[in-house]
A and B are shown apart, each in its own frame.
Chain A
């Protein structure tokens, strides 16, 4: 209890410090007006200092905003079904978030100091536009902090008949967290696609016009989904780490299950992430064609090839994990014959997606290739082919998931054959629509072609909806072919989970560089020019070195924080009344299909 009070006191102190800082901003801004436009950060320079702290802050923020979203869903499932392991898992997830909370706030404050100190003119300008939002941000931060604290420390107090209040607190903390994200995104997106200002850069009317700029809503959606993916992969990696170091079968079973849930969450959100990315890309083009074209075909063109490779790794890794997971499910042998076909589609899609089109190349390279595009493969580099590839990869991943879900279940419904036929037909029709518009896209103007991606996305989402709408009732009360042997999954599967976490974290860094880099030599695009010594946007290799260093620092910090969090729990396995549950696995099969025979989150 004393520890809890001490933690609360530290958090309260941090919030008060932040509020004091924010309240002092107008004075600081006035001082800044008399100051130089830039100062140089010692040794590494201001840009690298801001880059490192911003990326670390965003990584931690994504984690603490993403994890509670699915933690509260898991808690609600446990509450409605009365199954203790979900409550334990939810508590475990919030514990991880909780440990990272203070670090996120500290990094945010550090970032603020860097802006005020090293980019005073820039910060003065941003303050002249967004000052009204600072108070809102601080208030939301306050509300979020204390809601999460009550949510975490009130776990036992608000149990039993008061559990609905506890789940409500979880929902509330997510709402506050999302609102914080929306406010912070308005600052970042304004820098990319400024709005609501006159030619001199001054605010014309309400600050709302500056907030609601072209890229604000797309980034909100994209980041919200990406945060869930990120949170899922980090939790899965944590579980994998614990699995690999487990000394008992029970522990292995528990963390195998946790890793599966983390990956399931990440995968579910990841499937829709490319659609959010398209929306963002479309809005960037709508805001400024030059910016869009520079992003996709200018000096950043190679960046998207690296992105394609990383996303390909994520798709392949997620599917491979599911196929490895099926090996611990009795009855899954029926579906193994589909795996080569799934690998084929994924590999082909991967290759198409990673095919370059408009590349910046040397004259010699262009001469050797006979032009700026490869005569044959160049056709696979255009958007038509890439949209088709990614939609097919999404459909394939979804199919892997469906097969995993029904691996040890046999439907007892009389209409099951018809249901399955409709499901296959839905997948087949979706694939046909995706391929049709992919090919047709080569024969129409670019503006028409852009619209085709909407039909492709709708076809895929429609198929996912139809298949799941049939699948859930079809497998309700299904006959089990055996319980999942949690904990017996191959150890290499856990390295896949770590691969996914590392890759996604690295990808976040890369996308951060892309988002920031497309402004090129502008602090605020087209409004406030970057006149600092770091005005040039670095090449991809330099960015990659930086991303790697920051990603290493992030994982070291995460390890340290989790280790610190674990110190307090050592020797008190039943702290807060949350005894680690026994999951069916190596210690012997458990009865009841809910523990072992069914997908825990999709009943």
Chain B
């Protein structure tokens, strides 16, 4: 029996494509996930927690590791081993933390000899670290041979302002912020644990006074409905925030609450 040409050609093409597909599936599978936002503001974070969070940023959202190595000379960027000790002596009159902060926010201000001026500003998109993340990253870098003495106030207030990813995607929350404030202080009971500007003062949960500046609406909405699934801010105990707001709040109250939180800048 003669096999039709179309069948032979089709089978051949399938074998070719199948081979490529099989090979592509047999090698390491790496997905590029969008980086999660880290918020440390208002929290009682220990230096050790801060350094740990900074190390995570170094390897993930900060994408520092693409060029910098620790304990290994790179061709694109300097070795960061001992940077915490070295940084204070690099530029006269500048402390270690000042030098590190300047290197992150204005990388072109001082170029280490032998390396090209290729480092991007890490608080600008596409890396877009927020103030909390910058704080943690500086702490981690200081810890590499030096003392961790950076505070959130050391990070310029303007840093990370563009971290949300551009105004083009700004989301308008349709709720009423004033009604949301009422939910925050009454039915929602948020005030029991969180501070929001002049309202509340309890240190049980993170200070939300600038939450809209450092977090996306998506995160805030998800956090209210699924607190455990959205992670816990470093320095605060896990599992404290109640998971039942999806059942107790009406849709309007929920949207109003989010609208109120989005005014906290």
Contacts and interface: CB of A to CB of B under 8 A. Distances in A.
A306 B20 CA distance: 8
Of B28, B31, B75, B119, most buried by chain A (CB within 10 Å of CB) is B28
Contacts of B162: 199
Of B8, B16, B164, most buried by chain A (CB within 10 Å of CB) is B16
A503 B162 CA distance: 43
Nearest to A535: B34
Given A543-B24, A552-B17, A201 B31 contact: no
Interface in A107-131: 121, 125
Contact of B27 (A37, A302, A502): A302
Contacts of A498: 9, 12-13
A527 B169 CA distance: 9
B126 interface: yes
Contacts of B9: 240-241, 244, 495, 498
Interface in B191-230: 216, 218
Interface in B1-27: 5-6, 8-9, 12-14, 16-18, 20-21, 23-27
Given A446-B75, A543-B24, A245 B5 contact: yes
Interface stretch (A3-11, A64-72, A288-296, A574-582): A288-296
A538 B14 CA distance: 23
Contacts of A528: 165-166, 168-169
Contacts of A299: 30-32
Given A201-B166, A528-B166, A294 B20 contact: no
B253 to A, nearest CB: 21
Contacts of B190: none
What does DSSP make chain A's interface, helix, strand, loop or mixed?
Answer: helix
Contacts of A520: 32, 34, 126
A360 interface: yes
A306 B21 CA distance: 10
Nearest to A371: B72
Contact of A527 (B21, B114, B125): B125
Contact of B20 (A288, A517, A544): A544
B66 A521 contact: no
Interface in A414-447: 445-447
A298 B34 CA distance: 14
What does DSSP make chain B's interface, helix, strand, loop or mixed?
Answer: loop
Contacts of A77: none
Contact of A540 (B8, B27, B125): B27
A529 B165 contact: yes
Interface string A270-302: 000000000000000000111101100111001
Interface residues of A, number: 67
A517 B32 contact: yes
A548 B5 CA distance: 21
Contact of A201 (B30, B63, B118, B167): B167
Interface in A527-558: 527-531, 535-545, 547-548, 551-552, 555
Contacts of A293: 66-67, 76
B126 A291 contact: yes
A537 B218 contact: no
Contacts of A98: none
Given A245-B5, A290-B126, A522-B126, A536 B20 contact: no
A361 interface: yes
Contacts of A199: 162, 166-167
Contacts of B21: 544-545, 547-548
B17 A502 contact: yes
A601 to B, nearest CB: 26
Q: For chain B, give the interface size range.
A: 35 or more
A288 B120 contact: yes
Interface string B47-67: 000000000000000010011
A282 to B, nearest CB: 13
Nearest to B75: A446
B171 interface: yes
A58 interface: no
Nearest to A545: B21
A305 B124 CA distance: 31
B125 A37 contact: no
B16 A499 contact: yes
Given A360-B30, A543-B24, A548-B20, A526 B166 contact: yes
Contacts of A125: 168-169
Interface string B66-88: 11000000011000000000000
B86 to A, nearest CB: 22
B46 interface: no
A206 interface: no
Interface in B163-184: 164-169, 171
Contacts of B66: 290, 293-294, 297-298
Given A297-B66, A298-B66, A447-B116, A529 B169 contact: yes
B46 to A, nearest CB: 28
Contact of A531 (B25, B29, B32, B169): B169
B255 to A, nearest CB: 14
A495 B31 contact: no
Contact of B25 (A361, A447, A536, A544): A544
B239 to A, nearest CB: 26
A536 B33 contact: yes
B127 interface: yes
Nearest to B122: A290
Contacts of A200: 166-168
Contacts of B27: 302, 305-306, 540-541
A225 interface: no
A50 interface: no
Contacts of B114: 445
Given A121-B169, A200-B168, A294-B63, A544 B32 contact: no
A545 B31 CA distance: 15
Given A293-B66, A541-B25, 4 more contacts: A201-B167, A302-B30, A502-B16, A529-B164
Interface of A: 37, 121, 125, 199-202, 240-241, 244-245, 288-291, 293-294, 297-299, 302, 305-306, 309-310, 359-362, 445-447, 495, 498-499, 502-503, 506, 517, 520-522, 524-531, 535-545, 547-548, 551-552, 555, 559
